[in-house]
Structure 1
Amino acid sequence: MLLRYLTAATLARVGDEMVAFTLVLLVLQRTDSAVLAGVTGAAYAFPAIVTGPLLGAWLDRTQYRRTALALNQAVLGAVMVAMLAVVGHSAHWVTPMLAAVAGTTLPLVSGGFTSMLPSLAPREGLPRANSLEAASFGAATITGPAAAATITAVASVEAAAVVIAVTAALSVLAIGRLPALPAGDGPREPFLSSVVAGLVHLARTPRLRASTVTTTLLMGVTGMLLITLPLHMESLGMPRSAAGYLWAALELGSVATALLLGRFQTRWRPEQVVMLVVAAYGLAFTAWPLAGSFAVLLVLAVATGLVEGPMLPAMFGARQVYSPVALQGRVSTTAASLRVGAAALGQATAGLLVPRVGTHTALLLVAGGLMAASGAGWLAGRLSGAAVSTDQGAAYVG
């Protein structure tokens, strides 16, 4: 059953990872506007800030998870086909509007799938399932940008958009093979109260809050990279699409350590792993502006990914350890919505900032931002809040 889950989740995520990169390339190619590229990427991600908590509350009480996941993929495929007709051939506002339609249910791709894990894997098997889940994210992040870059270089960016639509259709078929999970058996509180309960739990659980703050700010910095890296390729004499291979190299290293170190990192509390890894990740990025060739930068990307690998399993672990099963949907999609929303702000900021300060300075800002994210998470965890179950913590650490 876990294999079916990983197949469906990875297919959906491959398409999603192609979208952000392909949209940037499509807009840059047809309009040559970094600002519009940033706004379009932000429009794809920004609605998740609002929809994530709502979708999570609904997932915790519905038996139609498969239908929601499949519908999200169908909408994504339709929007990508529509993008081919409108980008560069209509008013600029149409492009981000379409992107926003596809992004409305975006938290389902990450949080919606991940929230199913506690129901599909036994509790003692969750650390291994989390490592496989991190590998799913990593495999998608390797394949997505690399596929978009290769298809764009060999054929065209339009062909990459078509491949996204095809991948979305295949993921719908894979989702149909997943089991229909029963509706949550928690108390049937009013819907809006249920939404607020997820937000309150995230805000009042210090260790979960520390992980969430750190990973949310991490995604804001990652959003900056989506704009910075394609533009940085020009300084190395490479086409903009070559940035896709950097993303693939990052995730290749990340998947390696996520799989190899997954069982060992349970010796420490998950939020501690998250904060330490993100700080080291930022430190690794300080070397990127020094790379004088694409080959050197590619090696640095693999090394940086090796540093970042343990973060995702630890992030999933923090959500599972510090949240009851009845809140898993809300916690996963709300946290995912915060991450996606932060990435949107990062892209929009980079679209305005990078043309002014240059890509070398932008990469240094990325490094500093990651280290600041770790510090902000540590401060957030120090604030007083609700007590954490020591039994849950022991189950993960021991």
Structure 2
Amino acid sequence: MLSYYLAATLARLADEMVAFTLVLLVLDRTDSPALAGATGAAYALPAMATGPLLGAWLDRTPYRRSALALNQAVLGAVMLSLLAVVGHSADWITPTLAAVAGATLPMVSGGFTSMLPSLVPRDGLARANSFEAASFGAATIAGPATAATIAATVSVDVAVVVIAVAAALSICAITRLPALPPAGSDGEPFLASVIGGLAHLVRTPRLRASTVTSTALMGVTGILLITLPLHMDSLGMPRSAAGYLWTALEVGSITTALLLGGLQTRWRPEHVVVVAVAAYGLALAVWPLATTFAVLVLMAGVSGLLEGPMLPAMFAARQQYSPQSLQGRVSTTAASLRVGASALGQAAGGLLVPVVGTHKALLVVALGLLAAAGLGVVAGGRQSRMTERERLRG
């Protein structure tokens, strides 16, 4: 399992650096929040279409390692290309290149995570999910912090090069992953396989509740990604300092993901997802009150503690409510929805923040998180009512 977590974390490190670095690169060279939002959206948006297709293919192929490595190779090549074009060519070229790198983005999250049930015994999945959440958290901690530090001390251009290096190192680690047999049926038509994964997400209320909440969370996070660098101006800090806020948020998140990962075995995982997102929203509502950067960092850390149990519970929901043959499709389709929602959020943030200002944008983010939790309750309501009727009949 060590080789798995090393490969997954290196790939996620590169990915987590991209979102923040793209915003800094575009703002630094063009000073255009709209173009920064459009570029971030273009990086993430293709995943909404490719995720279900990639997941169906992953369930049917023994070549998962090749697909994961190819994703990282494309990422590295595109990032180096962006160094040459951002601010030096027509605006449409920058988001177009970003879209090329984002086409296989569901591989980074769903592609790796879908392997866990094949690598770990069922009674070890809860612990593996906590470590998987820690992998995401470690990458999310190191990614923005690394990008912020390099951008502040050297240049944002060097941060872009570091992403390409991290992608190359992840390819080396991926080659050490075990080859896994196909999980799905070879005889099922490909289109039917794609539709089967989507239908399972839609028709399974408990899984739907977790998916709707986590997807809406990512949409709101996309707005936050654009808001925080611009909010640094009001605190007298460089825009790159926003990376340390993401670090504080993820330090808190990874702490409770590891310490409270057992919640997914004591409570229904979709309930953990909804409660954690709602608590995160309440905590973020006080961020606009921070008058110093240090206070805001502390608030971010506390918010991360409240949000932390969400990620391992999200993994548990996919595993508990989906058969083995659907793990790839469910994981990558759910990942594509999350990435696509983040893309839309970044595009919305690029338009919203210049109009309402960063303080009001932070309040919009907090309200959006509470709305995400509410949508999850509504999405899972049918299952809850059915369960109650069955209990009463019994």
TM-score by length of 1: 0.96
Rounded Cα–Cα distance in structure 2 between residues aligned with 1:253 and 1:61 = 37
Q: CA deviation at 1:187?
A: 5.5
Q: CA deviation at 1:183?
A: 1.5
Alignment-mate amino acid for residue 245 of structure 1: Y
Alignment-mate amino acid for residue 317 of structure 2: A
Runs of 4+ in 1 over 6 A off after TM superposition: none
Q: How does 1:15-30 map to 2 (within 5 A)?
A: 15-30=14-29
Aligned to 1:229: 228
Q: CA deviation at 1:383?
A: 3.1
Q: CA deviation at 1:384?
A: 5.8
CA offsets 1:141-190 (integer angstroms, 9 cap, x no match)? 00000000000011000000000000000000000000011122536211
Rounded Cα–Cα distance in structure 1 between residues aligned with 2:31 and 2:118 = 47
Aligned to 1:207: 206
Q: CA deviation at 1:221?
A: 0.3
Aligned to 2:390: none
Q: How does 1:70-85 map to 2 (within 5 A)?
A: 70-85=69-84
Rounded Cα–Cα distance in structure 2 between residues aligned with 1:158 and 1:300 = 30
3-state SS of 1:338 partner: helix
Q: CA deviation at 1:382?
A: 1.2
Q: How does 1:159-308 map to 2 (within 5 A)?
A: 159-186=158-185, 188-308=187-307
Alignment-mate amino acid for residue 199 of structure 1: L
CA offsets 1:240-261 (integer angstroms, 9 cap, x no match)? 0000000000000000000011
Q: CA deviation at 1:264?
A: 3.9
Rounded Cα–Cα distance in structure 1 between residues aligned with 2:143 and 2:137 = 10
3-state SS of 2:77 partner: helix
TM-score by length of 2: 0.97
Rounded Cα–Cα distance in structure 1 between residues aligned with 2:383 and 2:214 = 20
3-state SS of 1:60 partner: helix
Q: Indicate conservation of the 8 Å contact 2:60/2:186, yes or no.
A: no
3-state SS of 1:383 partner: helix
Aligned to 2:113: 114
Aligned to 1:393: none
Rounded Cα–Cα distance in structure 2 between residues aligned with 1:316 and 1:291 = 33
Is 2:122 the counterpart of 1:123? Answer: yes
Rounded Cα–Cα distance in structure 2 between residues aligned with 1:288 and 1:146 = 20
Is 2:339 the counterpart of 1:340? Answer: yes
Rounded Cα–Cα distance in structure 1 between residues aligned with 2:107 and 2:71 = 7
**Structure 2 CA distance for partners of 1:185 and 1:36, relative to 1, 3 Å:** closer
Structure 1: segments with no counterpart, 5+ residues = 389-398
CA offsets 1:204-254 (integer angstroms, 9 cap, x no match)? 000000000000000000000110000000000000000000000000000
Aligned to 1:87: 86
Aligned to 1:56: 55
Residue identity (%): 75
3-state SS of 1:91 partner: coil
Q: How many residue pairs are counted as aligned between the two chains?
A: 387
Structure 2: segments with no counterpart, 5+ residues = 388-394
Rounded Cα–Cα distance in structure 2 between residues aligned with 1:59 and 1:210 = 24
Alignment-mate amino acid for residue 250 of structure 1: L
Aligned to 2:360: 361
3-state SS of 1:162 partner: helix
Aligned to 2:315: 316
Aligned to 1:392: none
Rounded Cα–Cα distance in structure 1 between residues aligned with 2:331 and 2:187 = 19
